[in-house]
Amino acid sequence: MGIDWSRVVSVDDLRRLAARRIPRPIFGFIDGGAEDEVGLADNRAAFDRWKLRHRVFVDVAQVDTATDLLGEPSRLPLAIAPTGLAGLAWPRAEVALARAAAAFGVPFTLATPSTCSIERVAREAGGRLWYQLYVLRDRDYTMKLGRRARDAGYEALVVTGDLAVGGERERDARNGFTVPVRPRLANILELLGHPRWLWQLATHGVPAIENLADWGGGNQGAQTLAAMIAAQFDPSVTWDELARLRDAWPRKLVLKGILAAEDAERAVAVGADGIVVSNHGGRQLDGTVAPLDALPEAVRAVAGRIAVLMDGGVRRGSHIAKACALGAHGVLVGRATLYGVAAAGEAGARHALAILADELGRTMALLGCRSVNALDARCMRRA
């Protein structure tokens, strides 16, 4: 039975569909955060701390949600964020997400531990592509990934800085989601309760981290290679390493995981073209300041010299409007489109973007803002 999209009217509706379609350990991996998940919840709650202030008797017959992101046009002030191991939710999920982004005229960011290769996504999806890079202990391989992204036409390198060590995601432990997988009776019963997901797995095979197939001697299973990546996270990476990456990468460079104004200033000094104010979706250090709350300080620190994006908790078009009103050039959305792809592949990802686009346009019209540039601090009041 197909999905009646007319009844799927919010990102939370897509989340419920995803929770029904995929096994609980996989959904928990997508949906969960670190430790008590206080930071995860506060990322969303931060948007409620700002109330919208509309203007009336403004001609909003034509509202334009388009803007520039990193110097190129985007239909929305939005890019799809990098999400690792997305192929556990849907076969070749990264290609589906990238195609949805291309159809909507927004950028897509491919994660380092992706189940589709840099080259496959460029070849099968196209559109505006950014590549998210972890600086691994194996520096030669790290630089090789950057060269592959450059040769495949990716326009931006997004270097994630808030993963010196992996966060403690207790929901994964409770659900039996481990890397590598250690099957338990409860998990086997859970998998058997999701026959459509199992049929896709049987048809397409267990997803591998295709992006890193030539690392470590072959195309290994997603879980095994993910464990190798975890061992390769390097807690010794410093700003000096970023300066070397800046010298090696010829296109746009974005630093993701910025929360402190001091780090935003360092990003400018190292030659970055943009930052993403982010706490890794609440998946790393629990209890951090919400990115939306950290955004104004970061905007002041860079003083218009580089682009400022933010992610974390974005589930509504009104959330995008609030972020832009606080000075962001745009947002990254991760779970919203991942719920969509987990529910129905590319069609679900497109529906997620359609929901956000419709909500943003309606929010702007009701605020009395005809363009994204008109969204500013006058549109809101702190609750």
The full set of domain ranges for the chain reads 5-382
For residues 250-277, give the mean pLDDT: 97
Q: What is the pLDDT of residues 104-124, one digit of tens each?
A: 999 999 999 999 999 999 999
Structure confidence at residue 315 (pLDDT): 98
pLDDT mean across residues, the chain? 93
Query: How large is the average pLDDT for residues 247-273?
Result: 97
What is the model's pLDDT at position 184?
A: 72
Strands 67-69 and 274-277: unpaired
- Residue 193 is predicted with a pLDDT of 85
Average pLDDT over residues 151-169: 93
The whole-angstrom separation of Cα 87 and Cα 93 is 5
| pLDDT attached to residue 291 | 98
**Catalytic option among 280, 319, 329, 351:** 280
Structure confidence at residue 282 as a pLDDT band (50, 70, 90)? very high
The closest of 234, 342, 329 to 311, measured between CA atoms, is 329
Whether 255 and 272 have beta carbons less than 8 Å apart is answered as yes
**Which residue is associated with the tokens 């073209």?**
273
Structure pTM? 0.94
The tens digit of pLDDT for each residue in 349-379 reads: 999 999 999 999 999 999 999 999 999 999 9
**pLDDT tier at 192, thresholds 50, 70, 90:** confident
Three-state secondary structure call for residue 28 = helix
CATH of 5-382, one of 3.40.640.10, 3.20.20.70, 1.50.10.20, 1.20.140.10: 3.20.20.70
The whole-number pLDDT of residue 149 equals 98
Q: Is 280 annotated as catalytic? A: yes
**pLDDT bucket at 226, cuts 50 / 70 / 90:** low
In the block, tokens 């008797």 appear at: 57
Look at residue 183 in the predicted model and tell me its pLDDT: 62
Alpha-carbon distance values, 175 to 39, 83, 170, 186 (Å): 20, 20, 9, 9
What residues does 276 pair with on adjacent strands?
256, 309
Q: Scan for tokens 């202030």, then name that residue.
A: 53
18 neighbors 343 (Cβ within 8 angstroms): yes
Please check whether residue 337 is in contact with residue 100, taking contact to mean a CB–CB distance below 8 angstroms: yes
* Cα distances (angstroms) measured from residue 273 to each of 16, 47, 191, 242, 350: 37, 26, 44, 12, 28
